[in-house]
Structure 1
Amino acid sequence: MVRIVVFDSGLGSLSVIKQIQKQMKCNIIYFADSKNFPYGKKTIKELRKITLESIYSLQKRFEPELIVVGSNTLSLTLDSHPKNILTIIPPINQAKSISKSKCIAVLATESIVKSKLLDDYLENFKKNNFKIIKINASPLIQLVESGKFYSNSQLCKTIIRKLLTPKFTKNNVDVATLSSTHLPFLLEFFKEIFPNITFLDPSKPLSIKLKNKYNDHSKKRNSLQIYTSGNIKSFKNKLIHLRIKNNISKFTLQ
């Protein structure tokens, strides 16, 4: 059974793992780098350092067949990488194929929205009169990591409306990419508030790609090991609300 390491800040990429486990049976090791949360407030230089240290440490410790850089933010900092390193980036081609208004929104962390990295990436898609707007979704990411998405739904809806409604309305957005792994945890709210907008989760096409290449039909169960660089008790309390009761171990980047 293929061994896959997924890493991200906090609980974000548990949304990625959920998509992978829907598609295939595998052994997943998740590293929640809570100590470095939030990635969205760090400089590009700091993010590159975290990305390379994470890949090196996880490869050395677990020797996986694949490492998934769950964070869209970290993924965009990688100029190049080996074939066994998979990244998750905004699915702009998919968004363009769906959009009728020709205006797409990319919801991402503050550091990436303000960086030239995202500008350079999006430049490849700005053709045929398509408009792509960048939205700093860090306040929404904080709602997820803090647990507000399950403890205070009304607050979440209020903040989502305040942040997104003016930008969506002004630009006639009809497709938005959830370019932070934390954001799919808010999908229920997004759909309720904006029923006419399609929200794309980049981890879905990744999970299908993995299924097509690595699925072992003889395996009947998934396995999940969870590590964190932060406080184990605090992280465990968050996972209980997600109905995840796995043991959590400490892991520190080298």
Structure 2
Amino acid sequence: MSAPILVFDSGVGGLSVLAPIRALLPGLPVVYAADNAGFPYGTRSEAEIAARVPALLGRLVERFRPRLVVIACNTASTIALSHVRAALDLPVVGTVPAIKPAAAASRTRVIGVLGTAATVRQPYVDRLSAEFAADCLVLRHGSARLVELAEAKLAGTVVTAADVAPELAGLTDQPGGDRLDRVVLACTHFPLLAAELAAAGPRALGFVDGGAGIARRVAHLLGASAPTPIGASAPTPIGAFAPGRAVFTRADAHVDALAPALKGFGLATVETL
């Protein structure tokens, strides 16, 4: 079997990135690694993340020998991406808040960045806003609660629009929020709640994330010939996926509860690092 790619996050959020990669390259072997022992990253300090992520990825690369690493976590990418690239001698793809496409699509010129507190305060977001959304009002809101809700949803808990509404209101209730028309989901957990967020909006909002772009970048770096996607409404059959495994940094009841959802992403094997 060919070498896998390694998709990394603090929890299950990276599955929102794995899904478009699987859709584009279903035959690609995958190791999905979740640092649930360090979860959640969004409430940790920059120093903690900058030290923890490169060290952990070094261990994972040594064990699984991937040909490419995807850091499917906005917080880890905005803080530790340069450290990881300096430490690893293989391609590393980061996750960038999708401010550029959100600004390009906005008609009202008011966009929101919904991420973790650690992500929305990063100078990297300032730079992206200045470069790609200089003529927009860019609102920001950090939410740890949405991360928790996404994890709960994948573990089988029912999550409703009412559950996510207060977090979306953190953007829409700000000055100028009544004109908001595009929301950047700047945490990979948040696309897992896309339906609930859409239902919670005070009006129709466009939600933008970077998953599809990351999938295209992975295909380009691997020199892969991607098949024509089956279709947005018809996911790739699970049996069409190459073997995949999920690796967690801690075994607990939450990981056990995630097993059915993981199988839906072609991750039939679950183990602990």
1:2, CA displacement in angstroms? Answer: 5.5
In 2, Cα distance between the equivalents of 1:161 and 1:91? 17
TM-score, normalised relative to structure 2: 0.81
Counterparts of 1:47 and 1:89 in 2: how far apart (Å)?
17
Shift in alpha-carbon separation, 1:42–1:12, aligned structure 2, 3 A: same
Distance (whole Å) between structure 2 residues aligned to residue 190 and residue 149 of structure 1: 18
Aligned twin of 1:247: 269
Match of 2:152 in 1: 146
Shift in Å, 1:238: 2.4
- Residue 51 of structure 2 is matched in structure 1 by 49
For structure 1, which segment, 102-111 or 231-240, has the greater mean C-alpha deviation from structure 2 after superposition?
A: 231-240
Matching residue of 1:236: 256
What's the secondary structure of 1:176's corresponding residue? strand
- Tell me how far apart the structure 2 counterparts of residues 84 and 174 of structure 1 sit (CA, whole Å): 35
Alpha-carbon contact 1:184-1:201 (below 8 Å) kept:
yes
Q: Distance in 1 between matches of 2:197 and 2:168?
A: 9
C-alpha distance 208-120 of structure 1, shift in aligned 2 (>3 A): closer
Question: Cα deviations across residues 71-99 of structure 1 (Å, max 9, x unaligned)?
Answer: 01111112362660000111222112101
User: Aligned partners of 1:97, 1:120: CA distance in 2, in Å?
Assistant: 16
2: CA distance, partners of 1:79 / 1:125: 21
Q: Does 1:137 align with 2:157?
A: no
Contact 2:12 2:189 in 1 (8 A): yes
Moved more, 174-183 or 152-161: 152-161
Indicate how the Cα distance of structure 1 residues 42 and 158 shifts in structure 2: closer, same or farther if over 3 A, else same: same
Counterpart CA distance in 2 for 1:169 and 1:222 is 47
Indicate whether 1:104 and 2:126 are aligned. Answer: no
Separation (CA, whole Å) in 1 of partners of 2:174 and 2:192? 21
- Name the counterpart of 1:222: 242
> Can you list the C-alpha shifts for 1:190-245, whole angstroms capped at 9, x where unaligned?
2223352110121111112333532466xx53221111012244212123256547
**Aligned equivalent of 1:205:** 213
| Percent of aligned positions that are identical | 22
Unaligned runs of 5+ in 1: none
Question: Aligned-residue CA RMSD in angstroms?
Answer: 2.6
CA distance in 2, matches of 1:96, 1:158: 23
Q: For residues 137-176 of structure 1, what are the structure 2 equivalents within 5 Å?
A: 137-147=143-153, 150-153=157-160, 155-160=162-167, 162-167=169-174, 170=177, 172-176=179-183
* Counterpart position of 1:69: 71
**2:61 corresponds to 1:59:** yes
Q: What are the Cα deviations for residues 21-79 of structure 1, in whole angstroms up to 9, with x where unaligned?
A: 11112111011110001101111111111221122112211111100001011111123
The equivalent of 1:88 in structure 2 is 95
CA contact (8 A) 1:143 1:149 kept: no
Quote the Cα distance in structure 1 between the aligned partners of 2:262 and 2:65: 28
SS of 1:205's partner is helix
Whole-angstrom CA distance in 2 between matches of 1:83 and 1:120: 26
Give the superposition deviation at 1:158: 4.1
Count of equivalent residues? 249
Amino acid at match of 1:224: G
What's the CA shift for 1:115? Answer: 3.6
Q: Choose from 130, 152, 172 the match for 1:123.
A: 130
**In the TM superposition, what whole-angstrom CA distance separates every residue of 1:116-169 from its partner, at most 9, and x where no partner exists?**
343344333342x22212211222111112338842425524434543441386
Structure 2: unaligned runs, 5 residues or longer: 228-239
Instruction: Determine if contact 1:174/1:198 at 8 Å carries over to the other structure.
Output: yes
Q: TM-score, normalised by structure 1?
A: 0.86
